[in-house]
Every structure is written in structure tokens, then in C-alpha cells.
Amino acid sequence: MHLHRLEKIWLSIGIGMLAIFLIVLGTMAFTMGMAPPSMDHHTIDPTKVNQTAPFDKPGITQTGNKQYEAVIVAYAFGYEPQKLEVPAGSTVDFMVTTSDVVHGFSIVGTNVNMMIEPGEISHISHTFDEPGEYLIICNEYCGTGHEYMKTTIVVK
């Protein structure tokens, strides 16, 4: 196959730019310490969720001044615990997992939105400044009773 001299030049420029881009991208990722998330401490055996701490006793505990940790287990068409209460101005660190299928975890009126996968521990934090009742819903279709999957957070 015969390539014209200008075609060779443009092919060389294109391949050279691609190589430069990949080298810069790789160097920046390496020097900034970017890596895929570690899966060591964020997974549990999905068949033993109810036997693995802290998911064996789901609920909310105070960890500091206006700092709370909510351990929640999603299951087919519900969340455990059914209701959480915190004072206004509190920051809640959510730890959520499931043992059956993929579920969603979305707090209506906030930017809290996670996908809950079997055996994977999902983390997110949110500060509740305004008093009221916040609805937590599943926004991933999980079966025929999906529309009943909800719980609430009462902020006093």
C-alpha cells in the first residue's frame, strides 16, 4: 500500500498527539495518586449481612457533638430501621448495604443519592439544617413492591 507524503505526515502528527495525551494522562494520574477504590474494607458477604457488625443492629448512634452514624440495611421493599430521629443541624454519616438485589437510597429534598449493591457498603454524609420529616426512597427498581420501599428521618 502506498501512502502519499502528506498522509504520512498527518498520520505521524495524529499518532504523536495520541501518545503525548496518554503519557500526560498517565503521568498526572500516577503523580496525583489516583487509583481505583480499594474494595477491601467496603464489602461484606451478602449472605451474612444480618450477622455482620454493625449491620446486625441497624440504627442511629451519636458519635460526636451533632455527629451521628446511621447504619441501614435495605431489603426487598423496605429499610431497617423504619424511622430515624436527629436534632436539627446534625451531620449524619450513612452506612448502607443490602443482601438481596440492587436498591437505591435517595433522600427527597437533598442531594443524597446512592446505589446500594448486595454486599457492598455504601457511605455518604449529609447535614440536616432544616427541621422536618425527610423521606428516604428506593430509586432503583427492585421488584413488584418497589413503590412501598421507604423510610423517614425526622429532624427536630
Quote the DSSP letter at residue 89: T
Q: Residue 95: what pLDDT?
A: 93
The alpha-helical segments, DSSP class H, found in the chain are 5-31
Q: Residue 52: what pLDDT?
A: 85
Distance between CA 102 and CA 115 in Å, rounded?
7
Q: Residue 23: what pLDDT?
A: 94
Condensed to tens digits (0 to 9), the pLDDT of residues 46-62 reads 888 888 888 888 999 99
pLDDT-flagged residues of the chain (< 50):
none
Distance between CA 146 and CA 5 in Å, rounded?
63
For the chain, domain boundaries: 1-35, 46-155
Measure the CA angle with vertex 123, ends 31 and 144; round to 5°: 130
Q: Residue 36: what pLDDT?
A: 64
46-155: in CATH 2.60.40.420: yes
